[in-house]
Structure 1
Amino acid sequence: MKGAFAEFYHTGSLGRFMGFLACFIQASFTIAGPDYVAMAAGETQNPRKTLPRAFKGVFFRLTTFFVLGSLAVGVLVPYNSKDLVDIYLLGKPTAGAAGSPYVLAMQRLQIGVLPHIVNALVFTSALSAGNSYVFCASRCLFGLALEGKAPKIFTRTNKVGVPIYCVGLVMCFSLLAFLQLSAGTAQVLNWFIGLVTSSQLMNYAVCSFTYIKFHRACIAQGLDRKGRLPFCGMFQPYAAYYSLFFTFIMTFVGGFTVFLPGFWSLPTFFFSYTMPFMFPVIFLVWKFAKGTTWRRSIDIDLVEGLDEIEAYERTIPEKKKKKAETTGPFEKVQQTLLRRVMRKQNSSVESNLGKGQ
C-alpha cells in the first residue's frame, strides 16, 4: 500500500475511498460540542457578553485537541495494528478505556506511567461529557415541555429551578451502559455511534437550515447582523449551505457498510437509519396535527424576547460587565488569529473584485 490512504473493504482506489469514508464517518461522531454552549445561555450571567467568548474558545480548543490528538495517534499507532483490528473490527472485548487509541499510543511508547495517565484523562473526559449531555438533554426536554411539545410533568422544577423530572428521565438512559455486559464493547459502541451520529448530523442540518432562514429574514427586514448582534459568524451564509449539504449527505452515508456483500447486520442498520426515517415522520405528523405554516422572511419575528434580555442586562452591575469583557491570554491569541483570518478574507475578496473589474 502506497500513499496516505489505506484500503478498506475493497482494493484499489475504491478501497482507499472507503477507508477515507469510514474515517470521515467516525469523525462525524465528534462534531457535537460547540452547539451545547448555547444551551447554557438561559443559566448564564450576561450571556451576550460571555457566550461569544465561550464559542470562540470551544472552537479553538476542540479543533486543537482533535486535530493534534489524531495526528499524534496516527503517528504512533499504525492503521493495521493488531490491537486496533482485534478491538474495532473483530469486536474483541476490552477492559474500560484500554481499547482507546490514545492508550494504545502510550503503550507503544513503552513508558509505564503514561497509559495510566491517559486512562485517568479518558475517565474525566467521559465524566465531563456525561455531565454535559445530561444538562443539555434535560434542558431540551424542559424547553419542549414549556412549548407544549412534551408532557406537562416535565415543566416541574425544584426550589433552585432544576427540572428534576427531566434530569431523572435523562439519567435513565445511562443504564444502557450495562449493554456492555452482554456484548463486546466495540459492538455496542458502534451501535450507539451510528444512532448518535445520525441524530447529531440531522441536528446540525436543521440548525444550518434554520440559520439560512434567519439570514434571509435579516436581509429582508434590513437587520444589520454586525451592528445589532453580539456575535456574527464568518463566511455566512455560505458556511451554512456547506454545513447543510454535507451533514445531510453524511446522515445517509453513515451505515453504508451494511449494504456491502457479507456485511449485512440488522442492529447496525437499525441504529444507523432509525432517526433519518423517524425525523420526517415526526415532522409531518406534528405539522399536520397542529396546522403550522411556513413563514415568509419578512414575517419572521426577530425581536421576540429582546426587551426581556435588555431589561435583564440593565440589572447587571458594572463590575460584572467589565469582568465579562476582560480577556485572558488565551482569548487574546484567539482574537489575534481571528483578525488575521478576517484580514486575509477581506484582502482576497478585494482582489477578486479587482480582477472582476
Structure 2
Amino acid sequence: MSKTEYGEQMDSYDVQPGFGDKLETTEVESHNNDITTAGEGGLQRNLQARHLTMISLGGTIGTGLFLASGSSIKIAGPGYALIAYGLIGTMVYCFMSSLGEMTTYMPITGSINAYGTRFVDPAFGFMLGWVYWFSWSITLAAELVAAGLVISYWIPPTQCPSWVWAVVFIVVLTSLNLTTVKAYGETEYWLSLIKVLAVAVFIIVGFLYIGGAVGKGFIEEDGTVAPQPGSAVFNMGPFHGGFTGLASIFLNAGFSFQGAELVGIAAGETKNPRKNVPRAIRQVFWRILLFYILTITIIGVCIPYTDPVLGNDDGDIKSSPFTRVFVRAGIKVGGDIMNAVILVAILSAGNSGLYASSRALHTLAKEGSAPRFFGYVNRWGVPVYCVLATSLVGCLAFIVSLPQIGQGEAYNWLLSLSSTTGFVAWVGIAVNHIRFRMAFKAQGRNIQDLPFISHLYPYGPIYTILICVIILFGQGYTAFSPFSIKAFLSAYITLPFIVLLYLGNKFWCKTKILKLVDVDLDTGRSFIDTAMNVDETASQAEKKNSPWWKKIIHILA
C-alpha cells in the first residue's frame, strides 16, 4: 500500500477540527470560552484526567481482587502470590508506558486497533478491533450474570428471578452510555472511587487487625480460636505448591490486571491528552500496584493459606478474603459491605466494558472494517448504534447463559473465547509501539519531539510480549496431566480464532505489512496548547484551597 493510498484510507476517519495544525487553536478556544473541543470522528473531548484515572482503575479493581485474590494465596501461598502479582505489575507498567507514548502523541479513540491499522497492517488492526470488541461484549454478559448472583445475597431467586436484575442492569448501563461521554466519565469516576475507598478502608482495618488493635480472640464458626495475624500466620507457608503453584498464580494475576488499557481507548475523548494521558498512566500504575501488593500482603498475614474457605470455590461473598478480614476484625456487617462494593464493581466493569467495546466498534467502522452505519455519532458525540449493538450482543450472550438454554454450556465456550483476548490486546499494544518507534526513526524524526517518552523501549514492549505469550500458551497446562480434550479446547480455542481473523482479512482485502516510511505519523497528532500552563496553575490552586475531604479524594483519584 503506497503512502498516497494509505492517506486516502485515513481520510475515512473524518477528523474534525481539533486535530493536526488546527488543534492548538481549537483547544485554546475551548479553555478560554468553555466550549467543547471536537474529537476524532465527531466524538467529543470531555473526559478529564481524574476520569481517565478512574476509568482505568475501574477496569482492574473488581471481582478479581475482591473474590479471587484469596484463591491465589490458597494455591501458592502469600509469598508466591506477591511474586506473581509483582511481576505482572511490572509488565503492566511496561505496556502502559508504551501506550502512554503513543496516545499522548496521537490520541485516537479506539487506539489499540487504530494503531494496529496505522502502524502495522490493516489486517492486524482488524483482528485487534474485533477481538477487543468481542471480549468486552462477552464480559458485559458476564457482569449481567454476576449482578443476579450478587443481588440474590439479599433477595433470593425464588422471590425475584436473576434475569430481572440483569434486565435492570443492562437498561441502566445502556442509558448511561447513550448520554454524553462526560456523563459516562463522571459516573465511572464515582463508581470507581467507591471501590478505591473500600480497598483503602480494608488496608487500614487490616493493619489494625495485624497490630492487635481490633479483633482479638476471634472465634471461628466451628468454635475454634482463629490464629492471631502476624508473622506466625505468614510463616505457615509463604511459598506453597512449587513451580506449578507459582505458574497458576502467575496466570490468575494477569487476568486480574486486565482493563488497565482502557485509558488508551478513552484518549480520543480526553481534554488536553498531551498532559492528562501521561499523568493518568503514571497514577494508575502505582495505585493499582500499591492496592494489589498491600492487599495480598494483608490477606496473607491475616488468614492462613490453609484456611478451607479461602479459595472461595463457590463464589460466596461470605468466603471473600475481604469479608473474612472484616469479620475477624469485629465488623460483623462485613458481608453486606463487600456485597454492596462488589455490586458497584460490577456496575463499573459493565459501564467501562460497554464504553470500550462501543468505541472499538466505532473505530472499526471508520476504518471500513465494520458496517458504515456504526460510524454514526449523534450531536452529543455518542456512537449510538455501536452502544446498542454491543448491548444486544451482551443480552444474547446472557440468554445463552440461562440454565434453560443448554445448561449454559454455550456460554462457557463464549467465556473461554473471550478470556484470553485481554492478553492479545496487550501484545498488540507492544507490537504497535515497536512499529511506531521504528517508523519514527525510519522517517528521520527526533525522539525528543515526543511529548511523552517511554524510557523502557525496547525492553518494555519485548518483556510485555514475552510474558503475554507465556500466559497465552501456558494457561492450559493442566489439560495435559491427564489430557482432557475439553479443557484443551477451552484453553486454546481462542488462538486459532485470532489467527483466522488476521489471515482471513489479509487474504480477503489483500493487505500488506506497511513500509516504515509509509506509516502515517501525522493524522490525529496532538499539538501544544498554549493555554495549558494557565489551566494547570489554576487547577493546582483549586486543589490547594480544597477542604480536607476533597484533598483525600484528590490523593486517591
TM-score, scaled relative to structure 1: 0.74
Q: C-alpha offsets along residues 9-61 of structure 1, whole Å, 9 cap, x if unaligned?
A: xxxx9951111111111111022233111211221111111111111111111
Q: 1:190 to 1:58 in 2, by over 3 A?
A: farther
Matched residue, 1:46? 272
Shift in Å, 1:146: 1.1
Structure 1 window deviating more from structure 2 (112-121 vs 124-133): it is: 112-121
Residue 268 of structure 2: SS of its match in structure 1? Answer: helix
Separation of aligned partners in 1, 2:374 and 2:538: 35
Does 2:282 correspond to 1:56? yes
Measured after TM superposition, the shift of residue 265 of structure 1 is: 6.3
Q: 2:441 corresponds to which residue?
A: 219
- The amino acid of 1:42's aligned partner reads G
Alignment CA distance shift 1:119-1:192 (3 Å)? farther
Change (3 A) 1:163 1:15: same
Q: Which residue identity lines up with residue 244 of structure 2 in the other structure?
A: M
Q: Which residue of 2 aligns with 1:255?
A: 476
Q: Which runs of 5+ in 2 are unaligned?
A: 1-75, 82-238, 544-550
- Contact 2:365/2:372 (CA < 8 Å) preserved in 1? yes
Alpha-carbon distance, 1:330 to partner: 9.0
Paired position in structure 1 for 2:335: 115
CA-based RMSD: 3.6
Instruction: Give, as a single letter, the amino acid of the residue that structure 1 aligns with 2:307.
Output: S
Compute the displacement of 1:115 (Å).
3.2
Distance 1:19 1:330, change over 3 A: same
- 101-110 or 231-240, which deviates more: 101-110
Distance 1:330 1:216 in 2: 42
> CA 1:199/1:2 → structure 2, altered by over 3 Å: closer, same or farther?
closer
**Native 8 Å contact 1:107 1:114 kept in 2:** yes
CA contact (8 A) 1:205 1:244 kept: yes
Q: Select between 169-178 and 42-51 the one with higher mean Cα deviation.
A: 169-178
- The residue aligned with 1:346 is none
**1:285 correspondence with 2:504:** yes
Partner of 2:460: 239
In 1, Cα distance between equivalents of 2:310 and 2:411: 14
Which of 342, 352, 364 is 1:132 aligned to? 352
Residues in 1 aligned to 2:77 and 2:490: alpha-carbon distance in whole angstroms: 34
Q: Give the Cα separation in 1 of the matches to 2:263 and 2:541.
A: 19
Are 1:230 and 2:456 matched, yes or no? Answer: no
Contact 1:76 1:105 in 2 (8 A): yes
Q: Deviations over 1:239-294 (max 9, x none)?
A: 111111111121111122222217x362x444422221111111011112111112
Opposite residue 172 of structure 1, the aligned amino acid is L
Residues 1:17 and 2:240 aligned together:
no
Corresponding residue number in structure 1 for 2:378: 158
Aligned to 1:294: 513
CA distance 1:54–1:19, shift in 2 (3 Å)? same
Name the CA distance, whole Å, in 1 between partners of 2:452 and 2:253.
27
Shift of residue 131, structure 1, vs aligned partner: 1.1
Equivalent pair of 1:146/1:155 in contact (CA under 8 Å): yes
Q: Percent identity?
A: 30
Q: Tell me if structure 2 keeps the 8 A contact 1:25–1:254.
A: yes
Partner of 1:69: 295
Distance in 2 (alpha carbons) for counterparts of 1:144 and 1:113 = 47
User: Quick check: 1:274 aligned with 2:493?
Assistant: yes
Per-residue deviation at 1:137? 0.8
Looking at structure 1, the residues matched to 326 and 401 of structure 2 have their Cα atoms a distance apart, in angstroms, of 25
Aligned residue runs from structure 1 range 160-199, under 5 A = 160-175=380-395, 176=397, 182=403, 194-199=416-421
Mapped to 2, the partners of 1:237 and 1:255 lie a distance apart of 29
**Partner AA of 1:199 in structure 2:** T
- Mapped to 1, the partners of 2:553 and 2:515 lie a distance apart of 39
Equivalent pair of 2:78/2:296 in contact (CA under 8 Å):
no
Distance 1:324 1:217, change over 3 A: farther
Per mean C-alpha deviation after superposition, the further-off stretch among 14-23 and 210-219 is 14-23
Distance in 1 separating the partners of 2:353 and 2:386:
12
Q: 8 Å contact 2:475–2:491 — kept in the other structure? A: yes
> Which amino acid in the other structure matches residue 155 of structure 1?
G
Q: Secondary structure at the match of 1:84?
A: coil
Number of equivalences: 312
- Residue identity in the other structure for 1:223: R
Q: Aligned pair in 2 of structure 1 residues 23, 39: CA closer, same or farther (>3 Å)?
A: same
Aligned amino acid, residue 247 of structure 1: C
Q: What displacement does 1:211 show? A: 0.8
**Aligned partners of 1:15, 1:70: CA distance in 2, in Å?**
17
Is contact 1:254-1:272 (8 Å) kept?
yes
Alignment correspondent of 1:209: 431
The residue correspondences of 1:78-93 to structure 2 (distance < 5 A) are 78-85=304-311, 87-88=312-313, 92=314
8 Å Cα contact 2:326-2:334 kept in structure 1: yes
Give the distance between the partners of 2:540 and 2:328, measured in 1 at CA.
45
Taking a change above 3 Å as real, the CA distance of residues 4 and 35 of structure 1, as seen in their structure-2 partners, is closer
Relative to the length of structure 2, the TM-score reads: 0.50
Which consecutive residues of structure 1, in runs of 5 or more, have no partner in the other structure? 7-12, 335-357
